[in-house]
Structure 1
Amino acid sequence: MVRAALMEKPLAKVRIVDLPEPKLETGAALLETIYSEVCGTDVHLFHGRLAGVPYPIIPGHINVGRIMQTNGPVYDVDGNLLHSGDVVTFLDVHETCHNCWYCLVAKASTRCPHRKVYGITYGVQDGILGGWSEKIYLKPGVKIVKLPEQVKPEAFIGGGCGLPTAFHAVEQAGIKLGDNVVIQGCGPVGLNAAILAQLAGALQVIVVGGPALRLNLAKDFGVDAVINIENMDAADRISAVKELTGGRGADVVIEATGVPAAIKEGMAMVRDAGTYVIVGQYTDNGEVNFNPHLDLNKKHMTLKGVWGIDLSHFYRSIQIMAKYHQRFAWERLISRHYSLADINQALDDVEYCRVIKAVIAPNGN
């Protein structure tokens, strides 16, 4: 039997259950979970804020573990044959068809209507397909990445889903050498965006957010300035950004807050003919009003939304970790490790920002 955390329905306390160990299809693998993360998406799942979730589910969409067994040869995305004991991770997105209009014509596989996600849009009836479990069933065709030696499991899970999500946002932002960049929000996505903006060549990276615990880590990661939202109102925050950017505003602003009210504020932080990228609005938290003439059109602003990740964002994020692990030490994002028995406390701590990153160790690693 396999112990797993089951989220039966929104707002119901997550409980621990015993499930039968799965029988492996040809091309499948069984993973012993080392770490799984608890992120903002899991809080949304708990509150029922995401559409199309087939409760009951086993959450945990970004994970790292050891190969226990395979049924037939199974390879990682580099074509390497995997063996028992290999430490791997895998892209949580599965069943992207690569055959529909969005995949082939729009080149936007994150909008493929067939894609499903471990820990989010697979229900427990589909199998042990979430990381809040002692073991995870890797279906045939799941994109597996063997961790480079330089990337320890704790560092990988410290980056978690925030790193590839931020990678997608920074890629869409098109940051150029010498740009002034503002990151709104200093949760895992915002902090990773601040790291990647520096690597992309930003001359100055400014992080707007709170609480101080997160802003202090942003400074440790090398950002040039932080603006604490607890110490000033929106107008003062906008003025502070303009003071730091020659009175014009930032070349690029990336929103990673999840708060709709941050959108209009962020638009005001963008310079004329600058770029605004919205990545934090993963669930429907309401509407926001802005003036399309003054806030967008007259500013000649480029406005982009970012949804999800694909294999390129996931794979290249791990490569970045391997090269820059000593400089940024992603494990510093982890505030606390939890057992499966503590999962409800972990959810609560994430929701109320008591931690930066909460990590589950289902096997007591």
Structure 2
Amino acid sequence: MIKAAVLEAPHTPLVVRELSAPVLEPGAAWLETLYSEVCGTDVHLYHGKLSGVPYPIIPGHINVGRVVEMNGIVRDFDGNVLKAGDIVTFLDVHETCHNCWFCLVAKASTRCPQRKVYGITYGLKDGILGGWSEKIYLKPGVKTMKLPKGVKPEAFIGGGCGLATAYHAIEQAQIKLGDTVVIQGSGPVGLNAAILAQLVGALKVIVVGGPAMRLELASEFGADHVVNIDITNENDRLAQVRELTNGRGADVVIEASGAPAAIKEGMLMVRDAGAYVVAGQYTDNGDVTLNPHLELNKKHLTVKGTWGIDLSHFYRSLKVMEKYHSRFAWEKFITRHYSLYETNQALADVEDRRVMKAVITPNR
């Protein structure tokens, strides 16, 4: 039997259940969960704000664990044969078809209609396919990766979903050497975007967010300036960004806040002929009103959205961590560890911004 925290339905407390472990299919493996993150997506799941979620589910879509059993030869994405005891992670996205119009013509596999995600669109009826459980069933074909030498499991889960999501946003932003970049949001996505912006050549990184605890961490990880939304209004924030950019605005602004009101404010922070990338609007939190002439067309603004991640974002962000783990201690993102019996508290702490990163440790 395997213990797992189960979200039966929106707005209901998670409960720990004992589940029967199925026999492994050929090519499948069991992973003993070391760490599973709690991210904003899990808060959205609790509030029922994501469509197509097959409740009840086991949350936990970004995970790291120890291989304990396999049926046949199982290889990681680099072709290495896995063995019991290996510390691995895996891409939460599975069953992307690579055969539909979106996969083959649009080259946008994150919009593939067959795409399924561990801990989000796999339900309990599909198996033990979420990280808030003592073990995770790795289905045949899941893209698994051994943690690189030197990358601690705590560092990987500290970067977690936010690192790969930020990688996608940075890719869309096409930051140039010497750019000034504003990041709206100081959660895991925002701080990872601040790190990656530095690595691709931004000479000035400004993080707009809160609370103060998160902004202190942003400064520690290299942000040149921080602006606290808890003690400023929109006009104050715009004035500060203008002052730091010779009155022009930033070359690139990346939204990673999840707040719809941030969109209009962020567009005003971008210089004329600059770029605005939206990464934080993962759920429907409402509308915003824009003046398309003044705030978009006359500014000659490039606006891009991002949705989810694919293997390239996950794989490359792990390689970034391998290269730079001694410079950026991603494990510092972790504020607190929680047991399976504390998952409701973990969700509440993430929602109320009491923590930077909450991590579930099912086997402690």
Q: TM-score range by the shorter chain?
A: over 0.9
Equivalent residue, structure 2, for 1:298:
298
SS at match of 1:8: coil
Equivalent residue, structure 1, for 2:352:
352
CA distance in 2, matches of 1:170, 1:216: 22
CA distance in 2, matches of 1:125, 1:230: 43
SS at match of 1:327: coil
SS at match of 1:186: coil
SS at match of 1:259: coil
Residue deviations 1:4-30 (CA, integer Å, cap 9, x gap)? 000000010100000011211011011
Task: Report how far residue 149 of structure 1 moved.
Answer: 1.5
SS at match of 1:160: helix
Task: Report how far residue 336 of structure 1 moved.
Answer: 0.1
**AA matched with 2:54:** P
Residue deviations 1:245-289 (CA, integer Å, cap 9, x gap)? 110000000000000000000000000000000000000000000
**AA matched with 2:283:** T
After TM superposition, list the pairs within 5 Å mapping 1:149-188 onto structure 2.
149-188=149-188
Equivalent residue, structure 2, for 1:114:
114
Structure 1, unpaired ranges of 5+: none
CA distance in 2, matches of 1:192, 1:4: 29
Task: Report how far residue 119 of structure 1 moved.
Answer: 0.1
After TM superposition, list the pairs within 5 Å mapping 1:141-290 onto structure 2.
141-290=141-290
Equivalent residue, structure 1, for 2:51:
51
The alignment's TM-score, normalised by the length of structure 2, stands at 1.00
Residue deviations 1:110-146 (CA, integer Å, cap 9, x gap)? 0001000000000000000000000000000000000
SS at match of 1:161: helix
**AA matched with 1:243:** E
**AA matched with 2:331:** E
**AA matched with 1:231:** I
CA distance in 2, matches of 1:150, 1:108: 33
SS at match of 2:325: helix
**AA matched with 1:232:** T
Task: Report how far residue 236 of structure 1 moved.
Answer: 1.1
RMSD value, Cα: 0.4
Equivalent residue, structure 2, for 1:318:
318
* Paired-residue identity, %: 73
Structure 1 residue ranges, 4+ long, deviating more than 3 angstroms after superposition: none
Equivalent residue, structure 2, for 1:129:
129
**AA matched with 1:325:** H
Structure 2, unpaired ranges of 5+: none
Does structure 1 residue 102 correspond to structure 2 residue 64? no
Equivalent residue, structure 2, for 1:26:
26
CA distance in 2, matches of 1:129, 1:218: 33
Residue deviations 1:37-63 (CA, integer Å, cap 9, x gap)? 011000000000000000000000000
